[in-house]
């Protein structure tokens, strides 16, 4: 049966026979039409002949000469225009035989992006790519932000040739659309090709980002209350994750920004009448993402779709009429907030265009802010939780420190853990308990479990692509065999897990999983491994008892083959060569080869198919007829097999939720192992009292030769809850306060922390204001940005929050700056009552310790001063040297009077001349202030900033 097997689309290095055949048809259009039998039927069909024939041989719908209709377009062009009319915003790749073609503007854009040749053909510019490279090019276009439509032939050549419409154009339909978040399916994720990618064979393939969320936003204005509510739904069509959220946001869209940063979408769906502020925010995110190398795609949809009534209609329709096991009952929908419904409606419409709407059927996982610790957008950015601020990459971020996962799904979960630390003490303790057991247990069970997680394919995406019924046979085989193997191996470990593990979290995760995975085996055993791996759908099932249609088709094919073999006897008789057998040339089967010297014996009604100098090849009319039937039957078998395959995938989809749960369990286990790895490698301890705390990232980056100086921290909600930290520039102030925040986050993720001891209360949020940056794009200057952020913190922080303010008020004149910093800090101490770390270079603020002695403490970063010898009176021309400072990086009680900025100026290699003048100026100013202080004292003036600062600096 070797000739029945479909040619592999990749054919290691060589072209498959069918491709050769089609190529032949293409380069030799002058070969007499209709002389030979229909080409070998196979998937996709050799349509180039037919279409080419239509265009070139003058067969056209309107019978105008040269295949050009009255409108001036060729039939193929007309067909393209019709499809394009319905999908104006997509670049269409149109299947034409063995290649995909682009037309018109699409062709020009594609040619530019793909770096391929584009030329004028009839009415349109056109360019083309070979079929087997479709995924490479679609991915590349999609990564550039395009929506790409793949238009496929929906007829196959042999069956078409036997029908009434044999002289018309091949019918074509849009088979799939792709954008950044919707790259699901075998066209764009052919597993066998991605293996090549890993082996470095295709280095031009754009690989999947780890996450590809599609985010949809709706805005609802409450006019009387002047309040904006934002609804948000984020879907990851490739993994089936759905997040819903609804929140009130201010004009800065700070809340929205935080969520967008966390979700990190690749595509955003918004109403066409989105508010200016939101639009500006999204635009800034797009700009930043383009800089980081991967632009976010924004799709504007008709605003009417976002209206509550219309969205509700879509939503109820969708959930009423779609049957799916495990889908969300309608009552669940009724409880959704209306802004969320306003997003869900347009999302259903959108995903339906991609045929990916099924993921929306079943969202169980609702993430609400109240579930976890709040990390505001500035906190995520400033503390470099998920990405660094240098190049937007992961290196140097907290995620980078904590992520030692081995699976793609584990990595995705770890990102969620880090961006959304827990708030519930029990869950935190469970995670820590699990990590502790992994670290301390010496049983062999846990290492065996861990070994199972190595080298796994992306099961989460795989299971979901099966659920969408879009996966290839190769992917299915890979995924189901991995699932089944995991099930079996975990099952074998069950007894030791039962007897040896004590962490309730680990036990729960591991004991459940084998049973959840069990169904995978039943699907795997029906498959013919070889066919599945080569993508041959006709031979896919090894046991046909469950597939009567396929069985029947096989019998029919076998009987035609027998007829053809029987016919051989007649041929032998006719040609008087008793040993004659059919030959196969260039993919064409059942040819009768006759030496040219013998052609006189050949009956006149035989059709000559091809010839060489020595031989001619014929087919008898009977043979032509049988071969035609055979091709038709084979095409039919492929169509039937495709149907059964889809059915098969559908059946697997019934277990989608079970499999997803199992994969989720494995992801959690992977994350726990990862945290244990961190604890082991970095000497972390378990347990806001922090003894010998270190900054996790700097500590890791410092390497062997330098040591991070650990510091202690003690903050008490009802006692000393505010630390005012002063000290020299470069003294380690910012590093210290970041360290406190990071340690708290790590603890609430469930991780061990870089400290010898830590007793931490549970924080409901961390708010930070640090660094100078402006947001020109948001229409805010540096100082405006500073105060907007501060104001957000004032409104959001609670008694249970940690607030970190680094040099608030430095963006304006000294007087205003000090005034604002003083007032704000006092407000935090007295009214918000949050745990607060305040870094400042304004000594007057240290006064607050005297005002609130119970709640405020002054600290500074210790240093050694090597003061130059300068008299208080300067004689003109006298040279002044700035002080030399040695940093000790040790948090010490008491305020520091000076910032020794000139020392840093020297470290930064400011020219000597400038340094001297600056040092001189500093000395002069100091003298003036000193002099004024005496005057104020003499006249009993009330305390002024100048006096305060003079006093401080003299301390
Ligand atoms: N505890 C520490 N141990 C070792 N090195 C440290 C420590 N803390 C900070 N450093 C080093 O000092 C550098 C400067 O620290 P940091 O930015 O915290 O100073 P700063 O006091 O905030 O200065 P400025 O006032 O100029 O903002 C860091 O980049 C780090 O390399
Ligand atoms: Mg600093």
Alpha carbons 607 and 36: distance in angstroms, whole number = 7
Interval between CA 33 and ligand 1 midpoint (Å): 81
Closest CA to 181 of 105, 85, 93, 295: 295
Q: Which two tokens stand for residue 233?
A: 């739904």
Q: Kindly list the protein residues that place their beta carbon closer than 5 angstroms to ligand 2, a single-atom ion.
A: 734
Reduce the DSSP state of residue 864 to 3 states and report it.
strand
Most informative mutation of 709, 730, 770, 839 for ligand 1 (most atoms within 8 A of CB): 730
Q: How far is the CA of 779 from the CAs of 260, 296, 398, 810, in angstroms?
A: 19, 21, 30, 20
Alpha carbons 838 and 817: distance in angstroms, whole number = 14
For the question of whether the overall pTM of this predicted structure is more than 0.85, the answer is: no
pLDDT digits (tens, 9 = 90+) for 801-831: 999 999 888 878 888 889 999 999 999 999 9
Q: Are 375 and 342 in contact (CB under 8 A)?
A: no
Q: Give the pLDDT of residue 254.
A: 83
Reduce the DSSP state of residue 701 to 3 states and report it.
helix
Cβ burial of 733 (10 Å; 0-12, 13-18, 19+) is: buried
Other C-beta atoms closer than 10 Å to the C-beta of 706 total: 10
Query: What phi and psi, each to the nearest 5 degrees, are found at residue 73?
Result: -105, 145
Q: Give the pLDDT of residue 23.
A: 38
Element (H, E) at 276: helix 276-291
Considering just the CA atoms, what is the radius of gyration of the chain in Å?
A: 36
Other C-beta atoms closer than 10 Å to the C-beta of 434 total: 27
421 lines ligand 1 (CB under 6 A): no
Alpha carbons 951 and 953: distance in angstroms, whole number = 5
CA dihedral 380, 384, 389, 392 (to 10 degrees): -80
Ligand 1: which residue has its CA nearest to atom 24?
729
Q: Are 646 and 382 in contact (CB under 8 A)?
A: no
Ligand 1: which residue has its CA nearest to atom 5?
708
Q: Are 290 and 320 in contact (CB under 8 A)?
A: no
Alpha carbons 193 and 199: distance in angstroms, whole number = 10
181 lines ligand 1 (CB under 6 A): no
Ligand 1: which residue has its CA nearest to atom 30?
732
Alpha carbons 927 and 950: distance in angstroms, whole number = 10
DSSP output for 812-861: S-HHHHHHHHHHHHHHIIIII--EEEEE-S-GGGGGHHHHSTTTEEEEEE
544 lines ligand 1 (CB under 6 A): no
842 lines ligand 1 (CB under 6 A): no
Alpha carbons 706 and 846: distance in angstroms, whole number = 32
Q: Measure the N-to-C terminal CA separation of the chain; round to a whole number of Å.
A: 97
Cβ burial of 909 (10 Å; 0-12, 13-18, 19+) is: exposed
Interval between CA 563 and ligand 2 midpoint (Å): 88
Alpha carbons 171 and 155: distance in angstroms, whole number = 6
Q: Give the pLDDT of residue 871.
A: 45
Interval between CA 26 and ligand 2 midpoint (Å): 69
Q: Are 658 and 516 in contact (CB under 8 A)?
A: yes
Q: Which ligand is nearest to the CA of 860?
A: 1
Q: Which residues contact 279 (CB under 8 A, 6 or more apart)?
A: 270
Interval between CA 738 and ligand 1 midpoint (Å): 10
730 lines ligand 1 (CB under 6 A): yes
Question: Which domains are assigned to the chain?
Answer: 17-178 (3.40.1170.10), 214-371 (3.30.420.110), 401-536+657-682 (1.10.1420.10), 544-650 (1.10.1420.10), 690-865 (3.40.50.300)
739 lines ligand 1 (CB under 6 A): no
Interval between CA 589 and ligand 2 midpoint (Å): 79
Reduce the DSSP state of residue 890 to 3 states and report it.
strand
Q: Which residues contact 551 (CB under 8 A, 6 or more apart)?
A: 544, 545
Positive or negative, the Cα torsion across 671, 673, 676, 681? negative
Query: What phi and psi, each to the nearest 5 degrees, are found at residue 198?
Result: -65, -35
Closest CA to 83 of 104, 109, 52: 104
734 lines ligand 1 (CB under 6 A): yes
Angle among Cα 935, 939, 941 to the nearest 5 degrees reads 95
Q: Which residues contact 362 (CB under 8 A, 6 or more apart)?
A: 240, 324, 326, 327, 328, 656, 657
Q: Are 682 and 700 in contact (CB under 8 A)?
A: yes
CA atoms within 13 A of residue 533's CA, in its CB half-sphere: 5
Cβ burial of 15 (10 Å; 0-12, 13-18, 19+) is: middle
Most informative mutation of 734, 769, 838, 842 for ligand 1 (most atoms within 8 A of CB): 734
Closest CA to 233 of 213, 249, 255, 257: 213
Determine how β-strand 757-759 pairs with β-strand 689-693. antiparallel
863 lines ligand 1 (CB under 6 A): no
Beta bridge partners of 215: 234, 268
396 lines ligand 1 (CB under 6 A): no
Extract the residue ranges of the chain whose pLDDT is less than 70.
1-71, 190-204, 206, 322-331, 362-370, 682-688, 704, 772-780, 867-882, 933-955
Buried residues in 761-776 as b, exposed as e (16+ CB within 10 A)? eebbbbbbbbeeeebe
Which residue is associated with the tokens 């980056």?
701
Q: Which residues contact 686 (CB under 8 A, 6 or more apart)?
A: 432, 436, 679, 752, 753, 758
Sheet harboring 99-103: ordered strands across? 119-121, 124-130, 99-103, 90-96, 147-153, 172-178
Q: Are 633 and 560 in contact (CB under 8 A)?
A: yes
888 lines ligand 1 (CB under 6 A): no
Q: Are 886 and 863 in contact (CB under 8 A)?
A: yes
**Eight-state DSSP code of residue 780:** B
Interval between CA 752 and ligand 2 midpoint (Å): 26
Reduce the DSSP state of residue 907 to 3 states and report it.
helix
DSSP output for 125-151: EEEEEEGGGHHHHHHHHHHTT-EEEEE
pLDDT digits (tens, 9 = 90+) for 577-619: 888 889 888 888 889 888 888 888 888 888 888 889 999 998 8
Q: Which two tokens stand for residue 773?
A: 């940056």
Q: How far is the CA of 358 from the CAs of 181, 324, 326, 467, 541, in angstroms?
A: 15, 9, 11, 8, 26
Interval between CA 923 and ligand 1 midpoint (Å): 26
User: What angle separates helix 621-653 from helix 473-500, to the nearest 10 degrees?
Assistant: 30
Which residue is associated with the tokens 């939780």?
385
Q: Give the pLDDT of residue 195.
A: 54
Q: What is the largest CA-CA distance in the chain?
A: 136
459 lines ligand 1 (CB under 6 A): no
Reduce the DSSP state of residue 456 to 3 states and report it.
coil
Interval between CA 72 and ligand 1 midpoint (Å): 73
Other C-beta atoms closer than 10 Å to the C-beta of 411 total: 20
pLDDT digits (tens, 9 = 90+) for 300-341: 999 999 999 999 999 888 887 766 555 556 667 777 888 999
Q: Which residues contact 587 (CB under 8 A, 6 or more apart)?
A: 7, 16, 17, 18, 20, 21, 40
């Amino acid at each position: 049966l070797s000739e029945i097997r479909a040619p592999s689309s990749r054919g290691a290095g060589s072209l498959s026979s069918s491709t050769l055949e089609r190529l032949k048809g293409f380069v030799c259009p002058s070969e007499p039409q209709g002389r030979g039998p229909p080409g070998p039927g196979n998937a996709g069909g050799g349509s180039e002949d037919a279409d080419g024939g239509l265009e070139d041989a003058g067969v056209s719908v309107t019978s105008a000469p040269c295949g050009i209709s009255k409108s001036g377009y060729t039939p193929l062009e007309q067909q393209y225009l019709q499809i394009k009319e319905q999908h104006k915003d997509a670049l269409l790749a149109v299947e034409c035989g063995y290649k995909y073609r682009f037309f018109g503007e699409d062709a020009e854009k594609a040619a530019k992006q793909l770096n391929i040749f584009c030329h004028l053909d009839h009415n349109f510019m056109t360019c083309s790519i070979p079929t087997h490279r479709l995924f490479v090019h679609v991915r590349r276009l999609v990564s550039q932000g395009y929506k790409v439509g793949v238009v496929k032939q929906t007829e196959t050549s042999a069956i078409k040739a036997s029908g009434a419409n044999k002289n018309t154009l091949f019918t074509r339909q849009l088979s799939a659309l792709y954008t950044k978040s919707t790259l699901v399916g075998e066209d764009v994720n052919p597993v066998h090709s991605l293996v090549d990618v890993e082996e470095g064979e295709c280095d031009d393939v754009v690989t999947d980002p780890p996450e590809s969320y599609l985010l949809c936003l709706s805005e609802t204005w409450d006019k009387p209350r002047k309040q904006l509510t934002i609804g948000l739904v984020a879907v990851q069509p490739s993994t089936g994750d759905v997040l819903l959220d609804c929140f009130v946001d201010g004009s800065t869209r700070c809340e929205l920004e935080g969520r967008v940063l966390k979700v990190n979408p690749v595509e955003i769906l918004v109403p066409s009448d989105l508010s200016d502020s939101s639009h500006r925010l999204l635009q800034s995110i797009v700009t930043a993402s383009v800089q980081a190398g991967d632009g976010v795609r924004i799709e504007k949809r008709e605003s009417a779709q976002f209206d509550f009534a219309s969205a509700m209609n879509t939503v109820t329709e969708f959930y009423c009429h779609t049957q799916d096991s495990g889908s969300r009952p309608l009552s669940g929908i009724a409880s959704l907030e209306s802004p969320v419904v306003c997003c869900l409606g347009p999302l259903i419409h959108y995903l339906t265009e991609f045929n990916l709407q099924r993921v929306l059927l079943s969202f169980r996982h609702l993430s609400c802010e109240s579930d976890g610790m709040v990390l505001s957008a500035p906190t995520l950015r400033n503390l470099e939780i998920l990405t660094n601020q240098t190049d937007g990459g992961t290196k140097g971020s907290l995620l980078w420190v904590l992520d030692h996962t081995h699976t793609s799904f584990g990595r995705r979960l770890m990102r969620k853990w880090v961006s959304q630390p827990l708030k519930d003490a029990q869950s935190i303790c469970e995670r820590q308990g699990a990590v502790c057991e992994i670290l301390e247990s010496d049983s062999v069970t846990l290492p065996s479990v861990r070994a199972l997680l190595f080298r796994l394919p992306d099961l989460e995406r795989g299971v979901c692509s099966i659920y969408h019924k879009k996966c290839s046979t190769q992917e299915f085989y890979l995924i189901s065999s991995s699932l089944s193997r995991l099930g079996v191996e975990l099952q074998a470990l069950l007894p030791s897990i039962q007897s040896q593990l004590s962490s309730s979290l680990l036990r729960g995760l591991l004991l459940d999983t084998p049973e959840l995975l069990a169904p995978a085996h039943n699907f795997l055993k029906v498959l013919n491994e070889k066919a599945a791996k080569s993508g041959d759908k006709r031979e896919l099932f090894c046991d046909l008892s469950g597939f009567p249609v396929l069985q029947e088709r096989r019998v029919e094919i076998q009987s035609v083959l027998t007829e053809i073999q029987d016919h051989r006897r007649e041929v032998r008789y006719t040609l008087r060569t008793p040993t004659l057998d059919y030959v196969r040339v260039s993919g064409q089967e059942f040819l009768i080869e006759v030496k040219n010297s013998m052609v006189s014996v050949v009956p006149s009604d035989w059709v000559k198919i091809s010839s060489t100098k020595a031989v001619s090849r014929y087919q008898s009319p009977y043979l032509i007829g049988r071969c035609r039937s055979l091709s038709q039957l084979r095409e039919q078998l492929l169509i039937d097999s495709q149907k059964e395959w889809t059915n098969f995938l559908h059946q697997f989809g019934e277990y989608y939720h079970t499999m997803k749960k199992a994969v989720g369990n494995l992801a959690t286990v992977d994350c726990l192992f990862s945290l244990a790895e961190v604890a082991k490698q970095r000497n972390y301890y378990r347990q806001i009292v922090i003894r010998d705390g270190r900054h996790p990232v700097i500590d890791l980056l410092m390497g062997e030769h330098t040591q991070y100086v650990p510091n202690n921290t003690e903050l008490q909600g009802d006692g000393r809850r505010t630390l005012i930290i002063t000290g020299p520039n470069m003294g380690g102030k910012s590093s210290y306060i970041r360290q406190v925040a990071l340690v708290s986050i790590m603890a609430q993720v469930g991780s061990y922390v870089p400290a010898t001891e830590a007793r931490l209360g549970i924080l409901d949020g961390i708010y930070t204001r640090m660094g100078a940056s402006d947001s020109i794009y948001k229409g805010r200057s540096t100082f405006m940005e500073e105060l907007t952020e501060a104001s957000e913190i004032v409104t959001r922080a609670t008694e249970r929050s940690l607030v970190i303010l680094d040099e608030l008020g430095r963006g304006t004149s000294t007087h205003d700056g000090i005034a604002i910093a003083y007032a704000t800090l006092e407000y935090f101490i007295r009214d918000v009552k949050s745990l607060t770390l305040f870094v400042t270079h304004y000594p007057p603020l240290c006064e607050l310790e005297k005002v609130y002695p119970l709640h405020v403490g002054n600290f500074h970063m210790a240093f050694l001063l090597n003061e130059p010898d300068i008299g208080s009176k300067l004689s003109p021309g006298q040279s002044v040297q700035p002080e030399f400072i040695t940093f000790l990086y040790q948090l010490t009680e008491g305020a520091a009077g000076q910032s020794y900025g000139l020392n840093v100026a020297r470290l930064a290699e400011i020219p000597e001349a400038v340094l001297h003048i600056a040092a001189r100026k500093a000395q002069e100013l100091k003298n003036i202030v000193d002099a004024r202080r005496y005057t104020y004292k003499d006249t009993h003036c009330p305390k002024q900033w100048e006096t305060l600062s003079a006093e401080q600096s003299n301390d």
